[in-house]
Amino acid sequence: MQRIEAVNDFVIRFANVNGTGSASANNMFAKAVFRMGIPVSPKNIFPSNIQGLPTWYEVRVSEKGYLGSRGGVDFMVAVNPQSMQQDVDCVEPGGYFFYDNTKPLDIRYQRSDVNYIGIPLTDICRREYADPKQRQLFKNVIYVGALSALLDLEFGVLKDLVAEQFKGKEKLVAPNIHALELGYQYAVENFKCPLSVRLERRDAVGEKILMEGNAAIGLGAIYGGATVAAWYPITPSTSVVEAYEKYANRLRIDPGSGDKKFAIAQAEDELAAMGMVVGAAWNGARAFTATSGPGVSLMSEFLGLAYFAEVPVVLVDVQRAGPSTGMPTRTQQSDLFAAAYASHGDTKHILLFPADPKECFDMAAQSFELADQLQTPIIIMTDLDLGMNDNMSEPLEWDDSKNYDRGKVFTAEQLDAMKERFGRYLDIDGDGICYRTYPGTHPEKGAFFTRGTSRDEYAIYTESSDAYVANMERLLRKFETAKSYVPAPEFIPAAESTKDGIIFFGTSTAAALEAMDMLAANGTHLDGMRVRSFPFNKEVEDFIAAHDRVFVVEQNRDGQLRKMLIVECDIDPKKLLSVRYYGGMPITARHITSQIHQLKGGATVTKIRRKAG
Partner 1 sequence: MSYIRPNFRHPELATNELGYSRRDYEGSLSTLCAGCGHDSISAAIIQACFENAVPPHKVAKISGIGCSSKTPTYFLNKSHGFNSVHGRMPSVATGANLANRDMIYIGVSGDGDSASIGFGQFAHVTRRNLNMLYIVENNGCYGLTKGQDSATADVGSASKKGVPNPYEPIDLCTTALQMGATFVARSFSGDKAQLVPLIKAAIAHRGFAFIDVISPCVTFNNTAKSTKGYEFIRDHMAATGKMDFVPVRQEITADYTPGFTQEITLHDGSVIHLYKQDAKLLATDRDSALRAVQEHKARGEVLTGLLYIEPDDPDFHEIQATVKKPLRDLDASDLCPGQRALEAINSNLR
* Footprint (CB under 8 A) of partner 1, residues 460-499: 460-463
Q: Which of 123, 128, 301, 539 binds partner 1 (CB under 8 A)?
A: 301
CA 435 to chain centre: 34
- Which residue type does 145 have? G
- Which residue type does 222 have? I
Angle in degrees, CA 388, 394, 396, rounded to 5: 80
Q: Assess 448 for contact with partner 1 (CB under 8 A).
A: yes
Q: Assess 442 for contact with partner 1 (CB under 8 A).
A: yes
φ/ψ bin of 91: left (φ > 0), alpha (ψ from -120 to 50), beta (otherwise): beta
CA 529 to chain centre: 18
Please provide the DSSP assignment of 175-212 as one string.
HHHHHHHHHHHHHHHHS-SS-SEE-------TT-EEEE
How many residues sit in the footprint of partner 1 (CB under 8 A)?
77
CA 266, CA 231: separation in Å to the nearest integer? Answer: 5
Residue span binding partner 1 (CB under 8 A) among the ranges 442-450, 467-475, 489-497, 569-577: 442-450
Which lies closer to partner 1 via its Cβ, residue 4 or residue 272? Answer: 272
CA 34, CA 41: separation in Å to the nearest integer? Answer: 9
- Residue 448 CB burial class (10 angstroms; 0-12, 13-18, ≥19): middle
| Distance in Å, CB of 414 to partner 1, minimum | 15
Q: Which of 172, 416, 449, 594 binds partner 1 (CB under 8 A)?
A: 449
Q: Assess 207 for contact with partner 1 (CB under 8 A).
A: yes
Which lies closer to partner 1 via its Cβ, residue 142 or residue 309? Answer: 309
Strand (E) or helix (H) holding 553: strand 549-554
The length of the chain, given as a count of residues? 613
Q: Assess 439 for contact with partner 1 (CB under 8 A).
A: yes
Q: Which of 17, 177, 273, 526 binds partner 1 (CB under 8 A)?
A: 273
Strand (E) or helix (H) holding 174: helix 173-190
Question: String of b and e for 15-48 (b: at least 16 CB within 10 Å)?
Answer: bbbbebbbbebbbbbbbbbbbbbbbbbbbbbbee
Q: Which of 32, 281, 585, 589 binds partner 1 (CB under 8 A)?
A: 281
Name which of residues 213 to 272 contact partner 1 (CB under 8 A): 219, 222-223, 225, 227-228, 230, 247, 251-252, 254, 257-265, 267-269, 271-272
Which lies closer to partner 1 via its Cβ, residue 146 or residue 229? Answer: 229
| Distance in Å, CB of 226 to partner 1, minimum | 8
Which lies closer to partner 1 via its Cβ, residue 312 or residue 528? Answer: 312
Which lies closer to partner 1 via its Cβ, residue 143 or residue 302? Answer: 302
In a 13 Å sphere around the CA of 550, the CA atoms on its Cβ side amount to: 27
Asked if residues 223 and 217 have their Cβ atoms less than 8 Å apart, the reply is no
Residue span binding partner 1 (CB under 8 A) among the ranges 77-85, 182-190, 449-457, 477-485: 449-457
Which lies closer to partner 1 via its Cβ, residue 143 or residue 282? Answer: 282
Name which of residues 394 to 433 contact partner 1 (CB under 8 A): 395-400, 402-404
- Which residue type does 75 have? F
Strand (E) or helix (H) holding 98: strand 91-100
Q: Assess 354 for contact with partner 1 (CB under 8 A).
A: no
Which lies closer to partner 1 via its Cβ, residue 286 or residue 483? Answer: 286
Which lies closer to partner 1 via its Cβ, residue 72 or residue 279? Answer: 279
Which lies closer to partner 1 via its Cβ, residue 173 or residue 264? Answer: 264
| Distance in Å, CB of 324 to partner 1, minimum | 21
Q: Which of 68, 95, 275, 322 binds partner 1 (CB under 8 A)?
A: 275
CA 123, CA 100: separation in Å to the nearest integer? Answer: 9
Which lies closer to partner 1 via its Cβ, residue 4 or residue 228? Answer: 228
| Distance in Å, CB of 406 to partner 1, minimum | 9
Which lies closer to partner 1 via its Cβ, residue 137 or residue 365? Answer: 365
| Distance in Å, CB of 419 to partner 1, minimum | 16
Asked if residues 438 and 409 have their Cβ atoms less than 8 Å apart, the reply is yes
Which lies closer to partner 1 via its Cβ, residue 131 or residue 397? Answer: 397
In a 13 Å sphere around the CA of 113, the CA atoms on its Cβ side amount to: 8
Name which of residues 2 to 41 contact partner 1 (CB under 8 A): 34-35
Measured CA distances, 446 to 40, 442, 577 (Å):
55, 7, 52
| Distance in Å, CB of 357 to partner 1, minimum | 9
Angle in degrees, CA 124, 43, 119, rounded to 5: 15
Q: Assess 452 for contact with partner 1 (CB under 8 A).
A: yes
Residue span binding partner 1 (CB under 8 A) among the ranges 14-22, 113-121, 172-180, 448-456: 448-456
